[in-house]
A and B are shown apart, each in its own frame.
Chain A
Amino acid sequence: MDDRTEKNILQDIAGQEYEHGFVTDVEQEFIPKGLNEDIIRLISAKKEEPEWLLEFRLGAFRRWQKMKVPAWAHLKIPEIDFQDIIYYAAPKKDSDRPKEIDPELEKTFDKLGIPLGERAALAGVAVDAVFDSVSVATTFRQALSEKGIIFCSFSEAVKEHPDLVRKYLASVVPVGDNFYAALNSAVFSDGSFCYIPKGVRCPMELSSYFRINARGTGQFERTLIVADEGSYVSYMEGCTAPMRDENQLHAAVVEIVVEKDAEVKYSTVQNWYPGDAQGRGGIFNFVTKRGICKGCGSHLSWTQVETGSAITWKYPSTILKGDNSSSEFYSVAVTNNWQQADTGTKMIHIGKNTRSRIISKGISAGHSQNSYRGLVKMLPGADNARNYSQCDSLLIGDKCGAHTFPDIQNANMTAVVEHEATTSKISEDQLFYCNQRGIGPEEAVGLIVNGYAREVLSKLPMEFAVEAQKLLQVSLEGSVG
């Protein structure tokens, strides 16, 4: 392929439109800009929270004030003015129809492919839809509650199941865990709460969909998933935002508790607005996700497809505390244009015979920087623990960067850790092979990239796999290394 076509194709990718970039015109209420104890009291009052939760927020805020912005990631983050953000924005409820969803909002989610009405054709998925700072609807609650499953927005859970929330909140990600987790603990707005009782296998996929709409706001969602003994749940998360010149902050905390013999499968397709081809705008996605395999034989699996966000700072982690527990992390991270991603995982082995597996595939194109950062830690008690990590990076174009920063710590002689990483571009041989058989260069690249990411994509639930494959094609279609 000659240089000119290569250039054209690269321009084509840069020109790809972000299809979820529209703004919904609904009447919204905001609280004043800035962050102080009064603002936190105001958020808490708006959500009619009990006293203990307000204290929790204020405690977190005081810790946060003493903390510094983390600078260790391989990212160039412009200084964020935390006083210049609106910490709460919600669509106004229609006073005539307080129970119903605003038709505008329903239309928005419909356009995003997230039906808020319970339709027979999509009976396989229950959705909790979060619009800016509030959850607008949670579907299939009735059907789920018949099995004893609690699936609702976080605010409702605080009101209806305060004991459960109090027991598990901040039990996996402590308030002072890191800068953004502390910020989230102080100002979190809405998210999902999910509790699967003993021995129940959740009959449908649960999912949360996060949408940022209002200008000048940040989204601080909080999700808590508890899987009691012997239960199973598959949970999916998706997100989009409008196209804007400004950067918006999204700092979420996700906590997962997996009890004895329970299994949780957590999948994310992250598609926040990544900014334009010149690197203007886009979401800053600074997320703390952590799960604990508390009981024997518990299992937690993370699958993520990261295609959006101007900057991603995200390390879904697992603490393997129970004996014989296991965890997996599958990730595809795609960066294009001026996007930056520093993402990976932490596997902390405490229990005996614990197992973990990490498969990370990074694809960088344009002027982007894509890093894998991971920690595998075998504590002295982790007898016969086992980890295998594989991190591959694919470079498309000569202006981007792909980096791998693993940290492997072993303090147990019976534990075995393996790590391997490779970096390369799409090989000329593979392209030639495809061309020779009549497959055009663009199609060939699509084929190769898809094959490269297959190991991860195949782990996604059906509902997501299709979307993820489409996303990969949109962001990388026709690119040539």
Chain B
Amino acid sequence: MTPSIEREAVMENVLQPVRENVRTVTVAQGETLERVFMLRDSSCGLPMEHLVLEAGSRADVTVVVMPGVSCDIRLAVDIAGENACCSVKGIYLCPDNEKVHIAVDMNHLVPHCSSRQLFKGIAGGSSSVDFYGKIIVAALAQKTEAYQENHSLLLSDKSCVNTRPQLEIYADDVKCSHGATIGRLNGEEQFYMRSRGITLREARVLQMISFLSPVFHDMPESAVREEIEEAVEKAVRQM
């Protein structure tokens, strides 16, 4: 679709391939969708805005916002079939004056489904990050498990992060939680590493990489994972 998507990572059993103009993607019954989107250019966002999961399907979407990219990412997920499972993850790296806006709506419409959201990022320079994530569990959607996390690091005085994790729960037999933190690099950890001969610069890089690494953890395709990890590490070293 656009040059900014470097890689459509893993593609298997996708009913409807991601095409231009296709804003709604449906994952058919029992199928799996796995996608990694690397955004390297401000000119465009996510090629899909609406993801529908049918019964027993699985979706795993990862978004990586590289330095220099200002973007507005909006994704609405409808979990419409039972026993579906959805994971949306993201990393944002904003060392300069980027404006990143991320909004995820996770709609649990039916019982016995699970979803997980994990967004982690670093804001420096005069960048600003806005995160909005909502989990809606309809009255019918009993036995839902939905989790959401958003963690950010601030590297400079002029950067700012606003986060609005929201839960709207209408069913009682559910397990839902969200967590959000905004903080800085831990000085004690830096001291530990520096007292062992690691330079401050390297210590900071290690801290940032370990901070971001949970996003990669359960990425299934190792070749893709390694490539993304490499790109992220390179970007972090320049921050």
Which B positions have Cβ atoms within 8 angstroms of A? 139, 142, 152, 154-157, 159-184
Per CB-CB distance, the 10 closest pairs between chain A and chain B, nearest first, are A411-B160, A395-B172, A410-B182, A413-B154, A404-B167, A416-B183, A422-B177, A423-B176, A420-B179, A409-B162
Most buried by B among A378, A406, A411, A423: A423
Most buried by A among B164, B169, B178: B169
Please report the C-alpha to C-alpha distance between residue A422 and residue B165 in the assembled complex, in whole angstroms.
12
Q: Does A407 contact B (CB under 8 A)?
A: yes
- State the majority secondary structure of interface residues on B: strand
With A405-B166, A408-B162, A423-B177: A398-B171 Cβ-Cβ less than 8 Å: yes
| A419 & B180 in contact (Cβ 8 Å cutoff) | yes
Within 8 A of B (CB), among A347-393: 378, 380, 393
Closest residue of chain A to B181 (Cβ to Cβ) is A418
Q: List the B residue with the shortest CB-CB distance to A379.
A: B160
Q: Which residues of B contact A421 (CB under 8 A)?
A: 165, 167, 177-179
Q: Which residues of B contact A420 (CB under 8 A)?
A: 177-180
Complex partner residue of A398 from B155, B156, B172, CB under 8 angstroms: B172
Min Cβ gap A73→B in Å is: 13
User: How many angstroms between the C-alpha atoms of A181 and B211 in the bound complex?
Assistant: 44
Q: State the CA gap A210–B71 with chains docked (Å).
A: 52
A403 within 8 A of B: yes
**B-side contacts of A413, CB under 8 Å:** 154-157, 159, 184
Closest B residue to A419 by CB, please name it. B180
Of listed B152, B155, B167, B177, residue having the most chain A CB within 10 A: B167
Contact with B142, one of A398, A399, A414, A419 (Cβ below 8 angstroms): A398
CB neighbours of A411 from chain B (8 A): 159-160
Count CB-based A-B contacts (< 8 Å).
Answer: 111
Partner of B139, one of A399, A403, A406: A399
User: Does A412 belong to the interface (CB within 8 Å)?
Assistant: yes
Cα A393 to Cα B135 in complex, Å, equals 14
Across the interface, which residues of A come within 8 angstroms of B154, CB to CB? 410, 412-413, 415
Residues in A with CB closer than 8 Å to B139 are: 398-399
Closest to B165 in A: A406
B172 in contact with A410 (CB, 8 Å): no
Cβ distance B168 to chain A, nearest Cβ, rounded Å: 5
Contact of B175 among A74, A407, A419, A424 (CB under 8 A): A424
Cross-interface CB contact of A404 among B152, B163, B178, B183, cutoff 8 Å:
B178
Once bound together, how far apart are the Cα atoms of A331 and B170, in whole Å?
21
**For residue B157, which residues in chain A have a CB less than 8 angstroms away from its CB?**
380, 412-413
Q: What is the CA–CA distance of A350 and B148 in the complex, to the nearest angstrom? A: 29
Residues of B within 8 A of A401 (CB): 168-170
User: What would be 5 A-B contacts, judged by CB atoms less than 8 Å apart?
Assistant: A399-B139, A403-B167, A406-B166, A406-B180, A423-B174
Q: Is A173 an interface residue (CB 8 A)?
A: no
In the complex, besides A399-B139, A404-B178, 20 extra interface pairs with C-beta distance below 8 angstroms are: A380-B157, A395-B169, A403-B166, A403-B167, A405-B164, A405-B166, A406-B165, A409-B161, A409-B162, A410-B182, A413-B155, A413-B156, A415-B154, A417-B181, A418-B181, A421-B177, A421-B178, A423-B177, A424-B174, A425-B174
A408-B172 in contact (CB<8A): no
**Contact across chains for A425 and B169 when beta carbons are under 8 A apart:** no
The CA of A415 and the CA of B181, in the complex, are separated in Å by 11
B143 vs chain A, min Cβ distance (A): 11
A402 within 8 A of B: yes
Task: Output the least CB separation between A313 and chain B (Å).
Answer: 18
Chain A, residue nearest B171 (CB): A398
The residues of B that contact A333 with a CB separation of less than 8 Å are none
A396 at the interface (CB under 8 A from B): yes
Interface presence of A397 (CB below 8 A): yes
Query: Would you call A419 and B179 a contact (CB within 8 A)?
Result: yes
Tell me which residues across on chain B come within 8 A of A396, comparing CB atoms.
172
Docked complex Cα distance between A59 and B224 (Å):
65
Q: What's the minimum C-beta distance from B139 to chain A, rounded to whole angstroms?
A: 7
Contacts of A410 in B (CB 8 A): 152, 154, 160-162, 182
